[in-house]
Structure 1
Amino acid sequence: MSGQVLARQSAPVVPVLGRWGLSPHADLIYRTLTMRGPQTCAMLARDLDIDGGRLAAATDELSAAGAARLTCRGRERWWHAVDVHRVGLLMRQRRGPVAVTEGYRRHLAAVAGLHLERVDPATVRRLPTREAARERIAALTAAERREHLAINTEEQISAEAAAVAAPQDRGLVARGVRLRALSLPPRAGGPRDAVPAGAEYRETTDLPLKLMIFDRHTALFPADPVRFDAGAVQITDADAVAHLTQLFHRIWRTARDPFRQEVPPIELTAREQAILTLLTDGYSEEAAGEALGLSRRTVVYTLRALMDRLGVQNRFQLALVLGAARAVPLPGVPVIDTPTPEEI
């Protein structure tokens, strides 16, 4: 009996996370993980009667606060409680409530997809501070010879960060290293001013995490997506780096190049321009040909060759393409069936 009392007295006290701004669901899940051990989301949802949306938000809170960590076993994702003594210290050091954003959720999902619990620990390196991360970035950038891939998730890049990155980026381009950067669209004005000449740059709102990939050999991303002063994680595991490289290129393919016009200009020959102008003014093919001293066959052939060049099938599609490119006015171009080979 006395042994049981002693055990209860020596058991660690689970901190109440609500006093530091975490939600009641987050507090309940942390207590469950502490008492029962690792749990899957399905187990937590069933035992605690919490729906998927609230469960995801609560586990994000715990992960952001450092109170829980996620691992993968096969296809299952398991949540683990961090030691109560460490969590109590972390919570006492917090200055305010946990801010969980969509950006954090995307970061968490991207990192979980790396399956870091499966890789050789020697291929994962923790850089504990922002300064340590910057020093490592400088060293890796100086050694690059082929390709540098970067994702920037900051809505506004600070002057300090730009001053650090700009010389490195210019140096990469000067050495012939292919530099590709993805970023959020700026809130105002044009594309990022810090993009050096010779770099490739695109913008999109769908960016899962801040990331750098050096020569497809080393990847580096923040340890905490909302606190860059918490340092970074460096990975050299070949499969994990390949996964992040594929993620970058999937986003790149759908991102927008702000330096390129939305519709490429279409250059028309003098004959094409003259024929289209007359048709726009309501001339028939025969009348347009007479006005220009051409046969109707030549007018039809010129239009067919233009449609083939632009990859359209009929006059209506041709009018849309030319109107979007502002090559000719959109209204007035008649919708006429594509000519048959006999007409041509």
Structure 2
Amino acid sequence: MAGRGTGVLAVGRAVPLLVRWGVSADADLVYRCLVTFGARSAGGIAASLGLAVRRVRAALDELEDAGVVEPTAAPSGFGVDAATWQAAEVDVAVTTLQRRALRRPAPVTEATAGLLRPGMVRPFPARRLPDREATRRRIAELVALERVEHLAMNPEAVFSTDALAIAAPMDIALLRRRIRLRSLGRAPADGDRSSRHATEFARLGGEYREAPRLPHKLMIFDRRVALVAVDPHGLHHGTWEVVEPGAVESFVSLFVRHWTDATDPRRNGVPEVVLTPREKALVGLLAEGHTDTSAAKELGISTRSVTYALRSLMDRLGVENRFQLGLALGAMQAASPPRNTPPVEGDHR
């Protein structure tokens, strides 16, 4: 993105309201923060503005889609939580937003997406890939050419083993090439709050969010090519390949709208954590009403060891206090220990 800001706001230089060109108030505020204070992480912006990190992330998604901010991978990793964000110069941003407002196509809605069914008139040119195998071959070709970003919307309630076997290596290959990968999926129908998949995906550098309902199976490659499933929920009837810029931008807008409304399951989910025998014993005793002191006596350890063990559990589960720890452990259905658990050798302090 050209015209990158230096991070210093020129004295007396006014930043016009960006809302007049179609961005939200949050996005306008986040842009001003980046122009004024320079490149920052989502967490840094949230702290500066006093906004929830969730709102800052949504605003950054919106600004990135508009082409006026850009993520830069931090030395410690990549992905949305490891990135710092840079803003375009004010003049460049205003010009970009003005042009975008003039050429913005009508957004693709669920009704518009229905026009992609076989035999119906499409509002833009598209090439038909007749079946799953033809689609998978084309996906492999497009993935090999990607250089910047891959967007995927997956409305399936359940993935087949075959589909997962194909998708996982592709995702890993993209992430190893430092291509930004954002994936939207359905929230589990059984209410499972495990965040294991999202945590592992983020560890590799990907970004994953869930929504209760998604309108169409869709992949977008470098914002240049879109593959849209003929059947909204799968590839068995093939896909439409769309390259017309206005149409691709419409599908990007559709993705971003659902991405902004979706949630990261790591925020409210329960990471997969394996408790040690002593941790299980401690959790069981505290659930029965023991204090730290009486639980320590039952286990033959020091009260300080109890404090350390609980702090370690809170850190691993990403919670901030004992009440939240209890909720998380309850969701995990942590087992109560057997009574008369022997003391752990060498743990007396």
- The TM-score bracket by the shorter chain reads 0.3 to 0.5
Give the greater-gyration-radius structure (CA).
Answer: 1
Which structure is richer in relative contact order (CA contacts within 8 A, separation 6 or more)? 2
Q: Normalising to structure 1: TM-score of the pair?
A: 0.42
